[in-house]
Structure 1
Amino acid sequence: MLLVMAAALGAAVLAGCATAAPSPGAAPSPSAPSSGIDTDATLRCGDTPVPARALTEPRPATELSAEVLAVLENPLADVDEPLSDWLIAHETVERVVIMREREEPVDLGGGDIATYDLRAIEAADEHALPLDAPWGLVGAANCTPRIDLGTLTGAGVTLDPDALPDGGDERIVLLVTERECNSGRPATDRVELVELVETETTVEVVIGVRPHESGAFTCPSNPPTPFTVELEQPLGDRVIFDAAVAPAREISAGERY
């Protein structure tokens, strides 16, 4: 399913962002990140803003108006049944966005793994389908909810297969794949570490890419950009998470082009 996650850059969108160790008896398991979703934040799923509360307190799409439901029941919308599995991510008098978590995530490559399906429906749009209805489908996609990085853009993040981390390492080498158009070139000198959270059991990173100030670029796939994160202490057996996505996801090894 497609989700859009947004939160202001520098805002505390991650619950438990302090680097202090968990209190006794309350430490997370090695596979569980300390960060969670701030229900008051706005996320982005692709280009679509989605209130985090829509995910944490979901309303089923069956609660939508009869006119909108008629569009969703049209085969053109490609909305798999049951409709109750889809949640309302956004609803106004002119636009509705629904999402559904996928049973099997879609690996788009370079650490970009889509976990949701998304459908956008709008009223009286000349490009909407069906053309002769008061409401119509205007967009369909796969995405993963992400926090909003403000002026930075999100990126796919994997571990460098040529420099996989060892327990004694005090740094981790990542491969960061820019998602914006960059004429098939790496994001050299534009990758930024937005946030690093270290706990007893996890290392959680938020990575963003600073856009070019100007210029026109074509959109072939971009190669990954190596990026090193310095740790406060040796990695040990801690698990490394991408905390820019919601919920945070363990980072796995990628591929060099």
Structure 2
Amino acid sequence: MRRILPVLLLAAACGGDPPPVATAPVPSHTYACGGEPVALTGLDGPPTTRLGPNGQAALKGGEVRAPADLEAWRIVEETDDRVALIRELDTPVQHGSILQTHQYLLIERYGRDDAWNLRMSGRCDLRQVVPGHGEAALAFASATGTRLNLWVTEKDCASGRPATGRIKLAALEETDQEVRVVVAVRPVDGSVTCQGNPRTPFTVELSRPLGDRTVVDAAVHPPRRL
């Protein structure tokens, strides 16, 4: 049995006025890898061995190191001025609080000669884009009654501040086997520094006790058990 339920956001701190009730909107199906948009259909797209003239020229561009395993890479985009490739890592890499699952390569035409040059290359986790909000890493804290307690670590620079009051539950889906959540963080206003952020407690009100159900971070692809 599957149910999409209204969600109740609870303030992490004790006391104060009762929190407002909010209905989770339909989750966005736009994803990003290192801030660059990636359609999930691109993960099953043609292999890089089938690149056209633009893609083949891009792989010879400035500072570009063409992948040796072209068959493992998929074509996300190939236009006259932009070529994007992606592959899923054989073994995910833990980088701080982030589990990196994909490698992304972006090559664009730019510069005085409008030549192909490397724009971006690196590992990432593939995440849903929540408009107006940044990404967050989640960890299971505890479950008491109908309260699911999570730890949320903001990925964007925030001058080392906790994310209290800026966390958004973008989607909540409960089934008999799983509780799936999509969580994001509204950026800090104004200028910020980048020295790492503390984890922030965040509580989600469920329709019934968690029991033996699995908590899943549905903001990442593939979805990840917490």
With structure 1 as the length reference, what TM-score do the two structures score?
A: 0.72
Q: Is the 8 A contact 2:61 2:118 kept in 1?
A: no
Matching residue's letter, 2:90 = E
Matching residue's letter, 1:196 = L
Q: Distance in 2 between matches of 1:64 and 1:200?
A: 44
Matching residue's letter, 1:108 = H
Q: Distance in 2 between matches of 1:144 and 1:17?
A: 27
Alignment equivalent of 1:109, drawn from 96, 100, 103 = 96
Residue aligning to 1:60: 47
Residue aligning to 2:76: 89
Q: Distance in 2 between matches of 1:191 and 1:149?
A: 12
**2:204 matched to 1:229?**
yes
1:119-177 deviation digits (Å, cap 9, x = unpaired): 11112x239xxxx89322121121122111111212111123xxx34xx6321211111
CA RMSD of aligned residues (A): 2.5
Q: Is the 8 A contact 2:39 2:76 kept in 1?
A: yes
Q: Secondary structure at the match of 1:174?
A: strand
1:74 Cα deviation after fit:
7.5
Matching residue's letter, 2:138 = V
Alignment equivalent of 1:238, drawn from 204, 213, 216 = 213
Residue aligning to 1:255: none
Map 1:44-55 → 2, pairs under 5 A: 44-55=32-43
Q: Is the 8 A contact 2:29 2:129 kept in 1?
A: no
Q: Secondary structure at the match of 1:198?
A: strand
Q: Is the 8 A contact 1:204 1:241 kept in 2?
A: yes
Q: Distance in 1 between matches of 2:206 and 2:29?
A: 28
Spell out structure 1 runs of 4+ moving beyond 6 A.
Answer: none
Q: Secondary structure at the match of 1:77?
A: coil
**2:126 matched to 1:145?**
yes
1:75 Cα deviation after fit:
10
**2:114 matched to 1:126?**
no
Q: Secondary structure at the match of 2:4?
A: coil
Residue aligning to 1:189: 165
Residue aligning to 1:170: 146
Matching residue's letter, 1:137 = L
Q: Secondary structure at the match of 1:140?
A: strand
Q: Is the 8 A contact 1:77 1:119 kept in 2?
A: no
Q: Which shows bigger deviation, 72-81 or 215-224?
A: 72-81
1:195 Cα deviation after fit:
1.2
Structure 2 residue runs of 5 or longer lacking an equivalent are: 6-26
> CA 1:78 to 1:235, structure 2 compared with 1: closer, same or farther past 3 Å?
same
1:71 Cα deviation after fit:
4.5
Matching residue's letter, 1:190 = R
Higher strand share: 2
1:17 Cα deviation after fit:
6.9
Q: Distance in 2 between matches of 1:225 and 1:65?
A: 47
> CA 1:73 to 1:103, structure 2 compared with 1: closer, same or farther past 3 Å?
farther
Q: Distance in 2 between matches of 1:70 and 1:95?
A: 11
Residue aligning to 1:26: none
Alignment equivalent of 1:207, drawn from 162, 174, 183 = 183
> CA 1:99 to 1:17, structure 2 compared with 1: closer, same or farther past 3 Å?
farther
> CA 1:75 to 1:216, structure 2 compared with 1: closer, same or farther past 3 Å?
closer
Matching residue's letter, 1:206 = V
1:78-98 deviation digits (Å, cap 9, x = unpaired): 444220110011222101110
